Amino acid sequence: MTTEKEKMISGKIYNPGDKELLNARQRAKELCHKYNTLPNSSVNERENLIKNLFGKCESIISIEPNFYCDYGFNISAGKNFYINHNCVILDCAAVTFGDNVWIGPNCGFYTAIHPTNAEERITGVEYAKPITVGNNVWIGGNVVILSGVTIGDNTTIGAGSVVTKDIPSNVVAFGNPCKVIRNI
């Protein structure tokens, strides 16, 4: 029997109201709340909370409060990872960050997809596609990255961008929708 969590992770339509998923989201919300209310001087406790929340984190990472995610276990972060204030990661599918990724304030990473058909949407089902961010990527403030997007290595995403499609390596891209402006 396939669970709703297994369906979610594999990109199939699933019911987010499933008890296992509700419990997993509740756990993540509680860990995020605890993280967000710790004093900055509680470095070790903050690091341990993130290690307990994320599926994988390779080294010490820095995340400024407030930080929010849906599950946490679908987030993977490489070395030298930094998130500025007010980041939201809806990690119904994998969200993978490479090494040396820096994220500006007020950014969102949204893997969840809701049906466009109203009758299907009101049933509450959804599906998700992963987000992948390569190595040496800078993401400016107020950027939104949507489901299924891959951002290549050594790329800069300009502030205020809405990234709806893949962005290649070694470029500067920005806009709504985000598009390549120039090669690096």
3-state SS class at 76: strand
Q: Tell me which H or E stretch contains 8.
A: helix 4-9
The span from the CA of 150 to the CA of 131, in Å, is: 6
Q: Is 33 labeled as catalytic in the residue annotation?
A: no
Active-site residue (options: 33, 114, 121, 165) = 114
Domain housing 81: 4-183
Residue 66 DSSP label: P
Report pTM: 0.96
CATH of the domain at 51: 2.160.10.10
Question: Measured between alpha carbons, how far is 28 from 75 in angstroms, rounded to an integer?
Answer: 12
If one counts the domains in the chain, the total is: 1
Q: What is the CB-side half-sphere exposure of residue 151 using CA atoms within 13 A?
A: 38
* Eight-class DSSP state of 165: S
Q: How far apart are CA 82 and CA 63, in angstroms?
A: 6
pLDDT one digit per residue (tens) for the chain, 184 residues: 699 999 999 999 999 999 999 999 999 999 999 999 999 999 999 999 999 999 999 876 899 999 999 999 999 999 999 999 999 999 999 999 999 999 999 999 999 999 999 999 999 999 999 999 999 999 999 999 999 999 999 999 999 999 999 999 999 999 999 999 999 9
